Structure 1
Amino acid sequence: MRIVIVEDEQLAADKLVELIRAYDPASTIVACLDSVADTVAWLSTHAAPDLLFLDIHLADGLGFEIFAQTAVPCPVVFTTAFDQYAIQAFRVNSIDYLLKPLTPRAVADAFRKYEALRRTLAPAPPATIDYLRLLDELRASEARYKARFLVRAGQRIKTIAAAEVAYFFAEDKYTYLVTGAGPRYVVDFTLDDLEERLDPALFFRLNRKFLASLPAIHEIHAYFKGRLKLTLSPPVDAEVLVSSERAAPFKSWLDR
């Protein structure tokens, strides 16, 4: 089997190569590409591979842009750290959608789907898809999540990117933003507002007082009655507990 990998993170690409070879040592990785432009050029000048593993977030754009620029005449397995693109992925010729970090089981399942498809189906004519409209929808879905916050630091006003936020917490009728570097700032949002505005793949509502990003979760301990006790980074004086009702969704969020 001839396989092309499109992945802009070298460690992730190396891991995927390892997983592919572990499942099917006879397969051949004919190209490892890292951008939309390189992939379009490769597909335009080479024979079609049997299978394409395609990361969605690439350095020069979304992997979906490839479909708008050239024919992709083979089944595609999408790989991504986020789950917000699943619907769009299956509107193109995708057979699977794998969330990072990739596992041997996930890659094996993708191969089994490919093998089942090859055995049972004749090649289908290419679907007529408005790729430009699809890309517009993707960009709009990305834009709906809040990307930055305007905060006051003394007499200055500054912006803080959502990616810099460790967690938010509510105290005495105020909501505070805490960065990974430690400083905290008052923001004009309730935690309920923030829960709706922030990307749920990146932030989780721990309880009534805390909304945290994944990098802020430093330690997790089992606690009484099915609850979880967390240590956040930067440290916080208050006890941070996840209720027994939210423990399972929290673990699922961590394990994406």
Structure 2
Amino acid sequence: MKVVIIEDEKLAAESLQEMILKHRPGAEMAPVLPSVEEAVEWFQLNTLPDLIFCDIHLSDGISFEIFRQITIKCPIIFTTAYNQYAIQAFQVNSVDYLLKPVKEAELVKAIRKYEDLQKNNFQDEMENLKHMLQTADSSFNPSRKTRFMVKSGQSIKSVSSEDAAYFLAEEGVVFLITFDNGRFIINYTLEQLEEQLDPAIFFRANRQLLVHIKAVNQVKPYFKGRLQLQIAPNGPEDQVVSSSKASSFKQWLDM
């Protein structure tokens, strides 16, 4: 069995490889593909594997973009930190959908499911599943992002979006700051976060800041119709809402 892992978190990829080889020691592991661009290039130059493990959010975008550019007919097991893409996943040859951190028992169950499908004509089974999903929910609309997988020392942990006080962009790097003052690098732009998070809870104050409504401690009038914010915990100083956004910001805070 030849396996490809598409994953931009090194520790998550290594953990996945270890579990796969533990339970299927004869598996041939291809190089880990950390981005949409590298995955597309690899599939253009190599024959398809028997099975793909694929994260959904990669360093340069959503992994579904790979399958829009390349025809993939082999089975896929998606691994992701949140569950709003379940139906899209099953529409691109997915045999299972595992939430991070991936549990060993769930991984083994998914591999067995893949092996059973192989015995029972995978392509026919997938076509039937896709038809059922399209019939059941042709108007599917993903829910908002509810958690993030972040690196903490040598491990990976889950942080709920409810615990994120604000997201701060500094010199091309985006940090997630929690209400208990945790600080974690995440592989998202503020633009991506703005689209994925609940707009009733998070507001894009300026080019550097996306803030949780409960993290806004104080709002003061500033020059030329702008607003100056005091953010907790230990929020960066001189965070300003532009005059063009001031009105919508006040409405968001119900001021």
Q: Would the alpha carbon gap of residues 44 and 80 (structure 1) be closer, same or farther in structure 2, given more than 3 Å must change?
A: same
- Distance of 2:56 and 2:67 partners within structure 1: 12
Q: Would the alpha carbon gap of residues 177 and 120 (structure 1) be closer, same or farther in structure 2, given more than 3 Å must change?
A: farther
Q: More deviation in 23-32 or 48-57?
A: 23-32
Query: 1:160: which partner in 2?
Result: 209
Question: Could you give the per-residue CA deviations for residues 22-42 of structure 1, whole angstroms, max 9, x where no partner exists?
Answer: 221111112211111111111
Aligned-pair CA distance for 1:21:
1.2
Instruction: Provide the secondary structure at the position in 2 that maps to 1:32.
Output: coil
Aligned-pair CA distance for 1:61:
1.1
Q: Would the alpha carbon gap of residues 148 and 189 (structure 1) be closer, same or farther in structure 2, given more than 3 Å must change?
A: closer
- Distance of 1:57 and 1:158 partners within structure 2: 22
Unaligned runs of 5+ in 1: 152-156, 194-256
Q: Would the alpha carbon gap of residues 149 and 102 (structure 1) be closer, same or farther in structure 2, given more than 3 Å must change?
A: same
Q: Would the alpha carbon gap of residues 10 and 36 (structure 1) be closer, same or farther in structure 2, given more than 3 Å must change?
A: same
Instruction: Provide the secondary structure at the position in 2 that maps to 1:67.
Output: helix
Query: 1:84: which partner in 2?
Result: 84
Would you say the 8 A contact 1:149–1:159 is kept in 2? no
Question: Could you give the per-residue CA deviations for residues 85-121 of structure 1, whole angstroms, max 9, x where no partner exists?
Answer: 1111111110111111111112111101101111222
Would you say the 8 A contact 1:177–1:187 is kept in 2? no
Question: Could you give the per-residue CA deviations for residues 211-252 of structure 1, whole angstroms, max 9, x where no partner exists?
Answer: xxxxxxxxxxxxxxxxxxxxxxxxxxxxxxxxxxxxxxxxxx
- Distance of 1:67 and 1:22 partners within structure 2: 29
Instruction: Give the counterpart letter for 2:111 in structure 1.
Output: F
Question: Could you give the per-residue CA deviations for residues 118-160 of structure 1, whole angstroms, max 9, x where no partner exists?
Answer: 122254498699xxxx9xx779997363285266xxxxx8963
Instruction: Give the counterpart letter for 1:181 in structure 2.
Output: N
Would you say the 8 A contact 2:77–2:95 is kept in 1? yes
Aligned-pair CA distance for 1:189:
4.3
Aligned-pair CA distance for 1:49:
0.5
Aligned-pair CA distance for 1:78:
0.6
Aligned pair count? 173
- Distance of 1:158 and 1:63 partners within structure 2: 26
Q: CA RMSD in A?
A: 3.8
Query: 2:234: which partner in 1?
Result: 181
Instruction: Provide the secondary structure at the position in 2 that maps to 1:5.
Output: strand
Question: Could you give the per-residue CA deviations for residues 61-102 of structure 1, whole angstroms, max 9, x where no partner exists?
Answer: 100001110111210001111111111111111011111111
- Distance of 1:126 and 1:169 partners within structure 2: 45
Are 2:203 and 1:149 equivalent residues in the alignment?
yes
- Distance of 2:106 and 2:230 partners within structure 1: 36
Aligned-pair CA distance for 1:178:
5.4
Are 2:13 and 1:13 equivalent residues in the alignment?
yes
Query: 1:230: which partner in 2?
Result: none
Instruction: Give the counterpart letter for 1:99 in structure 2.
Output: L
Unaligned runs of 5+ in 2: 132-137, 146-191, 218-228, 240-248
